[in-house]
Every structure is written in structure tokens, then in C-alpha cells.
Structure 1
Amino acid sequence: MDGLAAKQLLDVIGIGIGPFNLGLAALLEKTECKSIFFDKQPRFEWHPGMLLEGTTLQVPFMADTVTMVDPTSRFSFLNYLHEHNRLYQFYFLESFHIPRNEYNHYCQWVAQQLPQLQFSSEVENIERTEEGCFQVTVYSSDKGKRELYTAKHVVLGIGTEPNIPEKFRLEDSGRIFHSSEYLEKRNQAIQADSITVFGSGQSAAEIFYDLLSRQSDYNYQLSWYTRSKGFYPMEYSKLGLEHFSPDYTKYFYQLPQKKKQGILDNQSLLYKGISFSTISDIYDLLYERTVGNSKPDVHLQALTELVSAEDRHDCLQLSLYQHEQEVSKQVNTDIVIIATGYQPCTPDFLEGIGSLLERDKNGQLVITENYKVKTNDNGNHHVFVQNGELHTHGVGAPDLGLGAFRSATIINQIAGQTIYKTYDDNVFQQFGMQF
């Protein structure tokens, strides 16, 4: 690019600084690899719109950035507690599931110790050099200029984006927002006369409970709808959790691609349900609110889908459809909060190497078992993916507990040697026939 000079050749450039690339950066400390990581946000923030008091991670604290492949790392959660003089408090807490806001603070603590992390830096383009490396154009809002960086490998850790179905997209409404914005817009919502939540997962349940807890102070009508069959708990049995292991990932990867989507569709309760404790908290509060046959202004209904939404200026008119009864109904509400999850995103900056990357018939990146994007030039330098391989590797792709394993697998390839040990036998069950 005219006027820009590339800096020294790096071993790896990480794009996006979420928990997974943060872990990669931390684990690279035990290598001689030169790296730099970019994120357009001004600082590390992990789902800031859902850092509600009283909410916890749904995985044990050992699913930090490093522990599952390097429990002696200075970046472990236990060392974070030690450095903050909280080990005894955590010891007496006797809980594997830590507060969500503490996990975010832990990640910020890790980020502060890694000088190769560059925030307020947006990647704009990637191109292949004549030598087969990757040239990355980055705009730094802090510096107010663009710079070029060149690396042998690129690791995509850009995460996902809020999934907002078309029926919820009302321009300039201001009355509909995604769960990812909940904390930012909660004060606006609780001033309304009526609030409606859509979704069947943990985020929808946490938002509903938070609003239910505040309802007595603000006197809004509160509704919760889901098109799912019920407000069901997430699968959390010990043998069920073994699906979030390297063993199951290996089994799933080797299945025919045409089978994989059907399997994923039937595994939703492994990662999309509600925790037992949140369901219990909601029920207990509803029970208390109905003492003496009181009737709180609350409505919960499953098997019900939003067909359309219309902004009537003074309210939103929702058209709902109940699948088993096969009947429709219209209801009015002031605010709609959609907890419809997240979806993969295809960043514009990949266009510069778009012809190089292989895609399947659905337009999804073809990813090898070791997290490389397949390319059509068979080069020695690669694009790796973190949490963009659900379609190839299965339900464990977004799970924090497998992040360190995936980072270690990528690092061992980048370094050209085994820096971190990984193991083949991690669970008690067999996921397929052994021959």
C-alpha cells in the first residue's frame, strides 16, 4: 500500500482479542515466537452487556485462558486470585463457578501483562505476499494512522456477532434491542409500562430474572416467550459434559460433513438451555410473589414464535403464533429484548485473501482438524481459526473449557515443536466404534 512500510516479519498476528486469542497470547510466552494481536475495542471487555450481579460462568474456573494445558502458568486464575489476595476467600467460597464479572476482571488482568496486545486497532485488510506470508493493514485510532504488519501466520479470534432475526429489525424503533446491550439499556427498559423477552437460553433467563427482581419497584408488565418446547435446563450431567472434550471434538470432526448439522441441531440443550439454579431462582421468586393468591403481572409461554413486529409509535404490536394449537394472537408491548444468541461473522478484511481460502457448499470456511483454514495454494503459512469451527468441530468450538487446548494445538504448529502436551484419552466413554 502506498505510503506504508511493513514492519519486521512476525511469526503470528492475532486478529480479535477475546478469551481465546487472549489465551493464545498468554501461552505464546513459553515460545520464541514474535507476535502481535489487534482488537478494535479500546480495552478487553467480555460480553459487558451481560455482566449482571449474581451471574456466574457456566463452566468451572479451570476454563481460564491457560490452565487446561499449563496449570503452572503465571496467567492461571488461581495465580490471579493469589496476586489479588483472594485465595482464602475463594477457598471458602467452595464453588467451581466464579462470578461472571470476576472472569472479565481476570481476563483484563491477563491482558494488562501482555505488551503484544494492541487495542483500538482495527484490521482493515489482509493480503498474501510474494513470499507466501500475510500482510495486514491496521488502523490505530489512538495513533490516528494506518500501519502494515507482516506475519507467517494469522489467527482469527474475532468471535461471533449478535443474531438478530429479520422480523426484529425495525429501523429507528429504539424499542427492540439484543441481550448483548442489556446493561446499557436496562434503565431505559424498566421505565416502560411493559417489557417482553424472547429466547430460551441462559441469557433470556438471566434477563427475565433480573427484570422480575425489579418489577415490584417499577410496576411494569413482564412477559417471556420462547418458540422452544419449554423453559428447559441445560444438560449438565457429568457424562453429558464429556461432549466438551478433545475426544468428542476428534470424533465429531471425522464424521461426514452432511451428518454434522443434523447432529448439532439435536444437541441444543448441551449449550443453549438454562442452568438449574437460574430456573430455581425464577420459580422461587414467582412462588413468593404469589403468596395469598396474589397475581403478579407476569406471563411465561413456550412453543410461541414471533411472526412479525410493527412499531405503532406508542407501542410495538407483536404477532405471535403458538405451534401446537396452531393459533395466532396479537399483543402490545413497549420494549422487546431479544436473547436470540450469536452467529458467525465474515469480516470484510478477509476479502483480500478471499480467493485463497476454501469454502464448502454453504459458504463456510473449510477447516482442518488442527484449526487451519484450507487454502488452494498448499503454502507453509496458514490462517488459523478460534471459535469459528462449530460446523466442522462441533459443540465445543465456543466452549471456554476447550480454548486452551485449541490454542496449544495452534501454538505447537506455529512453533514447529511440542511446546504444550495434549492428550488423546480425556474421558471415560467412547463416542464411536473402536476397530
Structure 2
Amino acid sequence: MKHSSVYDVIGIGLGPFNLGMAALLDPVEDVSALFFEKEEEFNWHPNMLIEGTTLQVPFFADLVSMADVRSEYSFLHYLQEHQRLYHFYFLEKFHIPRKEYNAYCRWVSGRLSSCRFGRTVTRVEVVEKDAGSVYEVGVLRGSSGVEEVYYAENVVLGIGTQPYIPPAFQEALGDTVFHTSEYLKKNLHPDQSIAVLGSGQSSAEVFLDLARSQQETGGRLQWFTRSNGFFPMEYSKLGLEYFSPDYIDFFYELPQEKKDALLKDQGLLYKGISAETIADIYDHLYERTIEGASPDIHLQAMTELTSIQWENGRWALNGVHRVKEDKVSAEADVVILGTGYQPAVPLFLQPLTDKILWDDQGRFQVEKTYELKTNLNTRGDLFVQNGELHSHGVGAPDLGLGAHRNAVIINRLAGREVYLVQAENVFQTFGASRQPEHSIIKK
């Protein structure tokens, strides 16, 4: 079935970033939009909604507030609608429960007619229509197998990243070797020996949850990281200014080799563990060791586990201590990989891959205003959400910059300033002088 209308924009994927765009576009009458998501309903990292976990950003980093605090889709409006404003007021916390953030996003998604769930995008191509080149988007609805065809002048890719599995562990994946993103859907049994790999927030949350369970169920718990320690994420007030439009302006203008070098040194800006989680872990371990108690828990940094084999009814892990260069071995019934996420080029872009410009590492080349650089002769553009870490800096995956990025893109789509994009948001200067303000509106 082909739909004749040409939308101004079609968004693919409905994570927080594209959902935020849908919410910010809802009152913009001169921009027509549709958003497709293959899942049947919104759920944000559902297998990591561990009891007691919170967002790592303040509640202002909701879908819309950093672009429009008056929006009816703000978190505060959600609280008001659910008669929770006083509850939240008395809570006195900036960092909200992750479960409630998910509930809030589900509430927003249910109020937006532009959001279509249970739709799998299978292809994006360029076709001639109405005396111009537009994007043709093929979509499967549910399991019907029948393709629906839609047209748009612009497409926004909001599919996010995918779990990274080190090559040595890929063949072992299954019920007992899995990524942290699958944690809550796995059936872990009492008395199992479990090894957690990685030193980011997800690994820490899984470790703490397992340690609390182990107190009741028993079993052995090990935590390994190749990093030099279990370090906190940088969360000082001046450090947070790196997650600002100002830093994007500075970072974008750098040569790519300098960008890549900077990113290697900025891991603790976005890859570490929250200080609160580290404190909870330490407090738990302290209480577990009162009166000489010795829980079967082992934490080891500076250690990279590089191989895994099934031996004698359990997993044998082998690696090396990265400082002493000694060999390290361990055994576990279950191995949980907190090995992070990586960008993914979706299969539906295959018809356009030879027209998209890639850098020398096979990454998208991205304009400052989030369009992909291409050789396509279309009326509009392909935009990307959370696929520009290498071009725009550490804030690319940060929820606090999602509304800013959406404001930039929406202003481009509308050809006018729908949302104010504010300059000079920080106290420090990242370059030798303040970055000049650039026009971001294109008709």
C-alpha cells in the first residue's frame, strides 16, 4: 500500500531522542511528521530498570524542557497529570527513578498521534515524486508481511546504538553469557557463580543488585574491569559544562584527529560510575564484612579477560593483568558483559550506502546541524540522533542535550526559529576565544 502524501519528516526509531522530537513537533502545524518504531510500545532499556536505579541527569533533561519549559509534554506536566507534584516536591531529588522516566516517556508516546509502534522500517530509498527527489520509506506493520510505503522530504535516524560484544565472547552468547542490556529477562539461580565484566554504570548497577541478592542466595560474585579502577563519572559543575551547546560548537570545529584524541581522554565524562552508586557498593561491602565476615565477592581492576571456554560444566575465563602482565584466570556459571554500546548502521540504509559520505573509519560524516553528508540530490536531508559522538563530542548520547539537538533540527525543517537555540550557556571558554554564533536555519 502506497500513501500519496509527502511528509516533511519521517523519524525512524522511537527512543527518547526521536520521541522528544515528536513531542516538540506536535504543536508545529507547518511541519508534518510521522515516527515509526518496530517495538509494540515504548520501553526504555526495560531489562535495566533495576529497583532503585535513577537517571544520571536531572529531571530537566526530559523530552522537551531544555527547549521549551512550557510544553505540555514536560516531566513536571506528567507529574501534575498523575497528581504526583507534591510527592515529587517532598522527594527533593533532581535524579528521578529510571522506572518513572520510562513511565513518563510511555505517557508521552501514548498522547502523540504521529508515533506509530509495531512498524518495522525495511528500506529507505530516493525516488522522484512531485517534480523532486524525496525519500521513500518501506514499512512492515506487525507480522503481516505487507509493506506500506510512505514519502518524506527529510528522514531522522533515531535508532540509537547497539550492545557491543567483544569478538572473543560472541560465540558464547546465550542464557549464561549475555550483555547487561538483557539482565532482568535472564533467569539467574541461587548459588550460581557470576562474573561481571566492565566498569561503567550498567556494570555497577548489575553488580550491586547481584551483591544484594547474594546476601540471601549465596554463590560467588566477581567483578572485573580492564580500566585502572572502579572510578566515578566526572560530575563536577564545571565538568558538566562539557555537556553543553557551547562545547559542541568548540568540538565540531576541531580536526578529526584532535576530536578522536580528545574522546579517548574523556571516558570518565560519560563512561564512569555515579558517585552515589559507588558509595552504595562500598557501604554494602562494608556492612557485609562486619565482625570478620567474608562474603564470596571479588573485585579486580586492570584486568582484561580475553577468552572464554566451556570446561567441566562452567565457563573458564582467561586474560591478563594489564599492568603486571601476569596471566589471570577465573571460572563462572554466568558471565555478564557490561561492555558498552556501539554505533550501528541500519540495514534499511543499504540502498543509500554508496551515496552517504563516510570518514576513514567508516563513520557517518555529519554536518554541524546533524544532517549526514551525502551525494544525494534530494529536497531534504537525512538527520542523525546519537550517531555523532565522533563529530559533535561526548554530549551526543546525553539526555540533557537531546532537546537542544531536536531544536536545531526542527528549526532546519521549518526554515525558521521555532525554538530558541541559546548561545553562551557556560561560564568557561573552551577555545582561545568564544565561538561565534552561527545561523542554523535553512529554508
Instruction: Name the amino acid aligned to 1:112.
Output: G
**What is the alpha-carbon distance in structure 1 between the residues aligned to residue 227 and residue 330 of structure 2?**
19
After the TM superposition, which of the residue ranges 228-237 and 28-37 deviates more from structure 2?
28-37
Tell me the residue number matched to 2:18. Answer: 21
Ranges in structure 1 where 5+ consecutive residues have no aligned partner: none
Shift of 1:89: 0.6
> Secondary structure of the residue that 1:137 maps to in structure 2?
strand
- Asked if the contact 1:173–1:311 (Cα under 8 Å) also holds between the matched residues in 2, the reply is no
**What is the alpha-carbon distance in structure 2 between the residues aligned to residue 127 and residue 117 of structure 1?**
21
1:68 equivalent among 55, 62, 66: 66
Which runs of structure 2 are paired with 1:47-66 in the superposition (5 Å)? Answer: 47-66=45-64
Tell me the residue number matched to 2:412. Answer: 413
Shift of 1:424: 1.1
Shift of 1:119: 0.8
| Cα displacement string for residues 271-329 of structure 1 (whole angstroms, at most 9, x for unaligned residues) | 11111111111111111111111111000000000020001261000002111111103
**What is the alpha-carbon distance in structure 2 between the residues aligned to residue 378 and residue 73 of structure 1?**
35
| Cα displacement string for residues 58-79 of structure 1 (whole angstroms, at most 9, x for unaligned residues) | 0000000000010000000000
Shift of 1:172: 6.2
Tell me the residue number matched to 2:375. Answer: 376
**What is the alpha-carbon distance in structure 2 between the residues aligned to residue 367 and residue 361 of structure 1?**
13
| Cα displacement string for residues 356-411 of structure 1 (whole angstroms, at most 9, x for unaligned residues) | 21111111111000000011245431000110000100000000000001001001
- Asked if the contact 2:126–2:378 (Cα under 8 Å) also holds between the matched residues in 1, the reply is no
Shift of 1:144: 4.7
Shift of 1:31: 1.3
Q: 1:232–1:224: structure 2 CA closer, same or farther, 3 Å change rule?
A: same
> Secondary structure of the residue that 1:242 maps to in structure 2?
helix
**What is the alpha-carbon distance in structure 2 between the residues aligned to residue 74 and residue 223 of structure 1?**
46
> Secondary structure of the residue that 2:313 maps to in structure 1?
coil
Which runs of structure 2 are paired with 1:331-350 in the superposition (5 Å)? Answer: 331-350=330-349
- Asked if the contact 1:190–1:220 (Cα under 8 Å) also holds between the matched residues in 2, the reply is no
**What is the alpha-carbon distance in structure 2 between the residues aligned to residue 409 and residue 399 of structure 1?**
16
The count of residues paired between Structure 1 and Structure 2 equals 430
1:92 equivalent among 80, 90, 93: 90
- Asked if the contact 2:303–2:328 (Cα under 8 Å) also holds between the matched residues in 1, the reply is no
1:103 equivalent among 101, 104, 109: 101
Which runs of structure 2 are paired with 1:185-196 in the superposition (5 Å)? Answer: 185=186, 188-196=187-195
Instruction: Name the amino acid aligned to 1:375.
Output: T
Shift of 1:416: 1.1
Instruction: Name the amino acid aligned to 2:42.
Output: F
- Asked if the contact 1:179–1:204 (Cα under 8 Å) also holds between the matched residues in 2, the reply is yes
- Asked if the contact 1:41–1:121 (Cα under 8 Å) also holds between the matched residues in 2, the reply is yes
Which runs of structure 2 are paired with 1:385-424 in the superposition (5 Å)? Answer: 385-424=384-423
After the TM superposition, which of the residue ranges 154-163 and 167-176 deviates more from structure 2?
167-176
After the TM superposition, which of the residue ranges 403-412 and 29-38 deviates more from structure 2?
29-38
**What is the alpha-carbon distance in structure 2 between the residues aligned to residue 172 and residue 412 of structure 1?**
44
Ranges in structure 2 where 5+ consecutive residues have no aligned partner: 435-443
> Secondary structure of the residue that 2:133 maps to in structure 1?
coil
The yes-or-no answer on 1:289 pairing with 2:274 is: no
**What is the alpha-carbon distance in structure 1 between the residues aligned to residue 106 and residue 51 of structure 2?**
18
Shift of 1:190: 3.5
- Asked if the contact 2:134–2:378 (Cα under 8 Å) also holds between the matched residues in 1, the reply is no
Q: 1:174–1:377: structure 2 CA closer, same or farther, 3 Å change rule?
A: closer
Which runs of structure 2 are paired with 1:28-47 in the superposition (5 Å)? Answer: 28-32=25-29, 33-47=31-45
Q: 1:321–1:414: structure 2 CA closer, same or farther, 3 Å change rule?
A: same
Shift of 1:21: 0.2
* % identity of equivalent residues: 52
**What is the alpha-carbon distance in structure 2 between the residues aligned to residue 88 and residue 171 of structure 1?**
49
**What is the alpha-carbon distance in structure 1 between the residues aligned to residue 372 and residue 311 of structure 2?**
47
Instruction: Name the amino acid aligned to 1:328.
Output: K
Tell me the residue number matched to 2:140. Answer: 139
> Secondary structure of the residue that 2:242 maps to in structure 1?
coil
> Secondary structure of the residue that 2:328 maps to in structure 1?
strand
